[in-house]
Structure 1
Amino acid sequence: MADAAHTTGRPTRQRGSASSGWATGGTVFAGVLMLVEGIFGILNGIAAIAKDDVYARVGDYVFKFNLTTWGWIHLVLGILIAVTGWGVLKGADWARGVGVALAALVVIAQFMWLPYQPVWAIVSMAVAVFVIWALCTDHGRTSSV
């Protein structure tokens, strides 16, 4: 029987190794979630830039930006997240570290965005925390020296 590493090009994992199937599946799921989150961020950004009255006005909120500024923040962050999610799905080494950093930025940005869309901001923060966990726990894709 041919070795799986020769047929797939990926190193085989042995049963009981430190890398679990949950973490590996979680990484693929994290890549998909990053793509979806990035696309939603792009759409959020376009909506906020195109029409300033799409989102409800917030009174005296500590983190005051006008909606056009928030739109640009969401648009740029969405593009970066979508590209990084694609990199995670392709197995790019750079994508895991950048993905963790971008997910941390998403948590901060969504916390500041809470008054505008509270339910979506909380869901997005939960997705970002899962992405951070998934990208930090999958050691199966790292090459051993």
Structure 2
Amino acid sequence: MSATPPTRAHAHGAKQAWAGGLTSFAGVMLMIAGLLGIFRGIMAIAQDNVFVTTPNYVFKFDLTSWGWIHLVLGAIAVIVSFGLFGPTLWARVAGVGIAGLVIIANFLSLPYYPVWSVVMIALSGFIIWSLCVVQGERSAETP
């Protein structure tokens, strides 16, 4: 038996599968991040005593305001995540944008829930990475 080298069509199919897998990964992760943002928003709106308060913080908002910010961003993230399960450019662009906004919101609310904010920043970074790599893979395939 001799091993035949992979053909160009086979390599193209593998890249398509890789890109589709990353898009699905981003969709699932954005949905999870959105749901967690919704729950975090509800927590901040309903019970302020769950969060740490810092007296002299530059970006100080009422915790209820932070709750509404996270709730709205989470809801938008869940809606956009459904678009990522299909091959739509708008969903990838919106996914990168909403993940970027989630990073900014979590950075600004870092003193209120530090560990969770760092986790959400890292998760959103992976989402942005996977959506940008998919775009790079697809554009590299076209002659």
TM-score exceeds 0.5: yes
Q: Distance in 1 between matches of 2:117 and 2:9?
A: 39
Alpha carbon RMSD of aligned pairs, Å?
A: 2.3
- Aligned residue in 1 for 2:5: none
Q: Distance in 2 between matches of 1:23 and 1:62?
A: 41
| TM-score normalised per structure 2 | 0.81
* CA distance 1:40–1:86, change in 2 (3 Å): same
Give how far 1:22 is off: 4.0
Q: 1:125 aligns with which of 121, 128, 131?
A: 121
Q: Secondary structure at the match of 1:34?
A: helix
* 1:98 aligned to which of 94, 99, 115: 94
1:136 is matched with 132
Letter of the structure 2 residue corresponding to residue 49 of structure 1: I
Contact in 2 for aligned 1:27/1:131 (Cα 8 Å): no
Distance 1:52 1:111 in 2: 19
Note if 1:15 corresponds to 2:13.
no
Aligned length: 131
Shift of 1:38: 0.5
Percent of matched pairs sharing the same residue: 47
* Structure 2: gaps (5+ residues): 1-7
**2:47 corresponds to 1:71:** no
Question: CA–CA distance in 2 between the matches of 1:21 and 1:62?
Answer: 46
Query: Taking structure 1 as the reference length, what is the TM-score of the superposition?
Result: 0.80
Shift of 1:126: 1.1
56-65 or 36-45, which deviates more: 56-65
Contact preservation (8 Å) 1:19, 1:138: no
Q: Which has the higher helix share?
A: 2
The question of whether the paired residues in 2 share the 8 Å contact of 1:45 and 1:71 is answered with: yes
Shift in Å at residue 66 of structure 1? 0.6
Distance 1:48 1:68 in 2: 6
